[in-house]
Structure 1
Amino acid sequence: MKKFLTSSRPKQVLKNFIIFVPYFFTIEKWVLLSPEKNLLLLSNMMLTFLSFTAISIIGYQINDFMDKEYDKNHPLKKNRPIVSKKISITEMILFIFTLILISIICSYAVGINITYLIISYFLLSLGYSRIFKKIPIIDILCICFFYILRMLAGTYSIEFEVSIWLYILTFFASLFIILIKRFAESKKNLDVRYPKVSIFYSLGFMPKIIKLSLFINIFVYLVYCISETLSNERNFYFFISFFIFSFGIYRYYQLSSQSNLGESPEDVIMDRYLISSVLIYLITLILVSEINL
């Protein structure tokens, strides 16, 4: 059982928490609902989370299987169960089949739109493993769309609309993190599979692109705050979240630049200051929503 848990890459499950983002940005609408409706929507979010967790794990299994010959020479990836043959092909197929059943059942229980998004995610994952990850820029754009699909699923699961600026921010924030990851990997020559991709992300202009991406994220969030205020969706206190967001994303940039943790986003976000800023940010959203009522 342990080998399947390891092969599932538990740390990567953190990516699927983006499904809960729409909840925190619509919390002022939730307090107006009955307890029964709240419980239903919360259960929908949990099922959506489980569905995307299962389908993303499938992507990891397929990716490990397709790259196992290359990953044998990787200092870390060579220990993955599929690469090291701790999981046989038969076991992998049975594991994938089980995950497909879990994902489809959970998504269909929420709604057909979630099922469509799950299928889209799976097809995009296959395309990424076979084609897109070999092409610079296209590879990171593909990963950005994975995050957009998760965000859409979170929105569909709670039946509330969120601002288009949140989707734009999701795109640029994921782009920022992935650029840092690719640049860090290229510096350490961790990608022996596709040298052209590694060479592209090691080019001298990449740090400037990453810094530009940082400022774009801060700017987009500021525009989002202005948009929400002008449309009377939020009050002026919502701008407090802008400063917390700016600190958090700059802290991520600082850590990944100075401590060479960029290739492992899940390790970067364990920083106590980042965790504190996220908690303060969520508390601020809740308090601002209460004031807005």
Structure 2
Amino acid sequence: MLKQLIKLIRPKQWVKNVFVLAPLVFSRKFTNPEAVIRAFFAMLCFIAASSAVYILNDILDLEKDRLHETKRLRPLASGKLSSTNAVIFMLILLSLSLIPAFFISRGVLFCIVAYVLMNILYSTILKNFVIVDIMAIALGFVIRVICGAVAIPVYISSWVLLCTFFIALCIGAGKRKAEKAVLNDDSAMHRRVLSSYTDSFLKSLIQISITGSAITYSLYTVLEYDIQIPMITILFVFYGLFRYMQLVLAEDEERLPEEIILSDVPLMASIILFGISWIAIFLAYGL
């Protein structure tokens, strides 16, 4: 049963929660042990909360998942795990998220609660409305960044929040594009909102979101610092964004965004070099 419980909480999706650490990096507090500990515990709280949300989604979509080509292999849909055990595990994860969050700060607790409530609303209502569903996904990433900021606590630039929103919009649109490609004519049966999305619209949304990400990040490096050296990091951001666009649009990649990001060496290299460049700038210039 342990193997099925692990599959249920989708560890591959946990990479999304690194957004909680963004304020730790951009506030230059990664050399402060207390701030690092608080930020990492906040991220662990979000991992537990997001895992609980995945279980809730599987419970609510159980019947549809049984008809899905790949989702029917999930623990609940395949019958390898009972709904009762899933609910118990979900409640345990929520407790492991909310109780530590309370001791980190009330702000972190508020963010976790807001994230869970928004996802309940998404799973029951918002996912059926075109564009709104993708914006709800994007808002979840913004909440992660805000959570990381209040955990330390530290000011987080509005440009960082906007950039996060645009990147998440791009991820959301990429997810919908992949779902449509995999399901083909059966897409509307499994997710009603997919019938309202055309391939050309999703490609346009990805392009607009990437443009918004590039602009807002560039403005962040220009307006938030008194020296020009942070602008060097724009190179890695632009390369990463354009590489993702190449994979999703030019090569018409049909995998989910997180699978594309984690499996593409050039894209991962740009992310790693981006992080290294910021750390080097902070250490060299003491920003």
TM range (shorter): over 0.9
Asked whether the 8 Å contact 1:71–1:77 carries over to 2, the reply is: yes
- Aligned with 1:205: secondary structure? helix
Q: Gapped runs of 5+ residues in structure 1?
A: 32-37
Instruction: Decide which of 120, 130, 133 is 1:139's aligned counterpart.
Output: 133
Instruction: Decide which of 268, 277, 285 is 1:284's aligned counterpart.
Output: 277
Asked whether the 8 Å contact 1:18–1:150 carries over to 2, the reply is: yes
1:23 aligns with 2:24: yes
Alpha-carbon distance in structure 2 between the residues aligned to 1:205 and 1:125: 25
Q: Specify the alignment match of 2:256 in structure 1.
A: 264
* Equivalent runs, 1:218-229 vs 2, <5 Å: 218-229=214-225
1:183-215 deviation per Cα after TM superposition (whole angstroms, max 9, x unaligned): 232233363445641122225333223222222
Alpha-carbon distance in structure 2 between the residues aligned to 1:276 and 1:111: 34
Alpha-carbon distance in structure 2 between the residues aligned to 1:49 and 1:272: 25
Q: Specify the alignment match of 1:240 in structure 2.
A: 232
CA 1:89–1:189: 2 relative to 1, 3 Å: closer
1:188 aligns with 2:182: yes
* Equivalent runs, 1:90-169 vs 2, <5 Å: 90-169=84-163
1:273 aligns with 2:266: yes
- Aligned with 1:136: secondary structure? coil
1:215 aligns with 2:211: yes
The letter for the 2-side match of 1:276 is A
Shift of the alpha carbon at 1:84?
1.3
The aligned length equals 282
Identity over the aligned pairs, expressed in percent? 28
Shift of the alpha carbon at 1:82?
1.1
Asked whether the 8 Å contact 2:163–2:212 carries over to 1, the reply is: no
Shift of the alpha carbon at 1:134?
0.7
1:76 aligns with 2:70: yes
Alpha-carbon distance in structure 2 between the residues aligned to 1:157 and 1:195: 36
The letter for the 2-side match of 1:275 is M
- Tell me which moved more, 199-208 or 53-62: 199-208
Alpha-carbon distance in structure 1 between the residues aligned to 2:112 and 2:66: 31
Alpha-carbon distance in structure 2 between the residues aligned to 1:91 and 1:196: 28
Asked whether the 8 Å contact 1:134–1:194 carries over to 2, the reply is: no
Q: Specify the alignment match of 2:247 in structure 1.
A: 255
Shift of the alpha carbon at 1:258?
4.2
Kindly report the root-mean-square deviation, in angstroms, between the aligned alpha carbons of the 2 structures. Answer: 1.7
1:63-118 deviation per Cα after TM superposition (whole angstroms, max 9, x unaligned): 11111111111111001101112111221121012111101122112111111111
1:29-75 deviation per Cα after TM superposition (whole angstroms, max 9, x unaligned): 554xxxxxx22222211211111111111111111111111111111
Alpha-carbon distance in structure 2 between the residues aligned to 1:131 and 1:87: 26
Asked whether the 8 Å contact 2:17–2:46 carries over to 1, the reply is: yes
Alpha-carbon distance in structure 2 between the residues aligned to 1:57 and 1:209: 28
Alpha-carbon distance in structure 2 between the residues aligned to 1:67 and 1:13: 21
Asked whether the 8 Å contact 2:164–2:213 carries over to 1, the reply is: no
- Aligned with 2:224: secondary structure? helix
Q: Specify the alignment match of 2:202 in structure 1.
A: 206
- Aligned with 1:162: secondary structure? coil
- Aligned with 1:74: secondary structure? coil
Shift of the alpha carbon at 1:176?
1.1
Shift of the alpha carbon at 1:173?
0.6
The letter for the 2-side match of 1:237 is I
CA 1:265–1:209: 2 relative to 1, 3 Å: closer
Alpha-carbon distance in structure 2 between the residues aligned to 1:8 and 1:196: 24
- Aligned with 1:159: secondary structure? coil
1:232-283 deviation per Cα after TM superposition (whole angstroms, max 9, x unaligned): 2xx2111101111000111111112244445412211121111111111111
- Aligned with 1:75: secondary structure? coil
